[in-house]
Amino acid sequence: MPEPKGTSPAPRFLVEGLRVLQHEAAALNMLAQVLNRNFEKAAKLFLEIKGRVAVTGMGKSGHVARKVAATLTSTGTPAYFIHPAEANHGDLGMISPRDVVLAFSNSGETLEMYGLLSFCARHLVPVVGVTKNPTSYLATRSKIILTLPDLPEACPNDCAPTTSTIMMMGLGDALAMSLLSARGFTPENFQQYHPGGSLGRRLLKVADIMHSGDEIPHVTPEQSMPEVLYTITGKSFGCTAVTSPSGNLLGVITDGDLRRHMGPDFLTLKAADIMTIGPLTVSSLTPAAEALGLMQSRSITNIFVVDDNWTKRPVGVLHIHDCLRAGLQ
């Protein structure tokens, strides 16, 4: 029967949506309760292998396997996805004797996986099986079994993979994060694998985009104004650092400082006469987004970078355009 005019099906959608989420959340809680030493054994196996983790699954389990392989790879555990059906037509050559197979199958009886599992048995490639059936074909051919709670799907017809795939995804994330912690994987490591996108931009450090070496404009306090002008013009940053004989940062001179001191005796002045003492600085390890925020809050276009021991020795200069070119906002 069609909906009466003026009514909305949204309340029914909301009730059903909440039911599904609560059902899946309960399944994840139950999975956490039954997690046992086999999980620890699997993580240690992945940590100690010389090759990679070959992650496989068919259908919706295959989509989960692709995501798990991507998460492992991006967090320090080399992995790849292998399609079980394609494996039977030549892709078994992807699997090295140094690898470990991580196989997802809710029933454990996925026919397309038989050939792959037989190959692993012949070539002594260990298999970690993820299934709800501990007596299944997959389970009996696995070195380690990670058993999922035997729960109905969130689908009202108990057909569409929902609860089972959310548990597989959670288990894959748990393995990846356990391995990440064991490897001491840092945000800096993460950024190396994620240079693009918003995540890569968020992890950028000042050192990644600053100008250094001969690009840094600097003068001494006693240098004349023509020399200051020559340095600022030549380096094209619209500013220069003023450094002591030992190399420490004493101050900065910007285009604004030049304009404010313009007068009849301007060319007779020294750098020390017009420099701004105690300028704002950042470390090379400062997040680039934070440095951009500092420049925007102070309405400045450049910031000098001092060494990580904060001895005030300039090791770089960052222009606001460098941040914008890197995609920071």
Q: Tokens 């440095």 label which residue?
A: 291
Distance CA 183, CA 52 (A): 15
Alpha-helical segments (H) within the chain: 10-34, 37-48, 60-74, 84-87, 114-122, 137-140, 163-183, 187-193, 197-203, 206-209, 225-235, 255-260, 271-274, 288-298, 320-325
Which CATH class, in words, describes the domain spanning 17-185? Answer: alpha beta
The predicted pLDDT at position 325 comes to: 84
The predicted pLDDT at position 323 comes to: 87
CATH 3.40.50.300 assigned to 206-325: no
Domain boundaries defined on the chain: 17-185, 206-325
The predicted pLDDT at position 213 comes to: 92
| Nearest C-alpha neighbor of 261 from the set 243, 273, 279 | 273
DSSP symbol at 82? -
Q: How many CB atoms lie within 10 A of CB 92?
A: 19
Return the structure tokens found at 270. Answer: 């020294």
pLDDT per residue as tens, the chain (329 positions): 455 555 555 568 999 999 999 999 999 999 999 999 999 999 999 999 999 999 999 999 999 999 999 999 989 999 999 999 999 999 999 999 999 999 999 999 999 999 999 999 999 999 999 999 999 999 999 999 999 999 999 999 999 999 999 999 999 999 999 999 999 877 666 666 655 555 666 678 899 899 999 999 999 999 999 999 999 999 889 999 999 988 899 999 999 999 999 999 999 999 999 999 988 999 988 988 899 999 999 999 999 999 876 668 899 999 999 888 888 87
The predicted pLDDT at position 7 comes to: 55
Return the structure tokens found at 174. Answer: 């748990």
Give me the phi and psi of 146, to 5 degrees please: -110, 105
- The span from the first CA to the last CA of the chain, in angstroms, equals 51
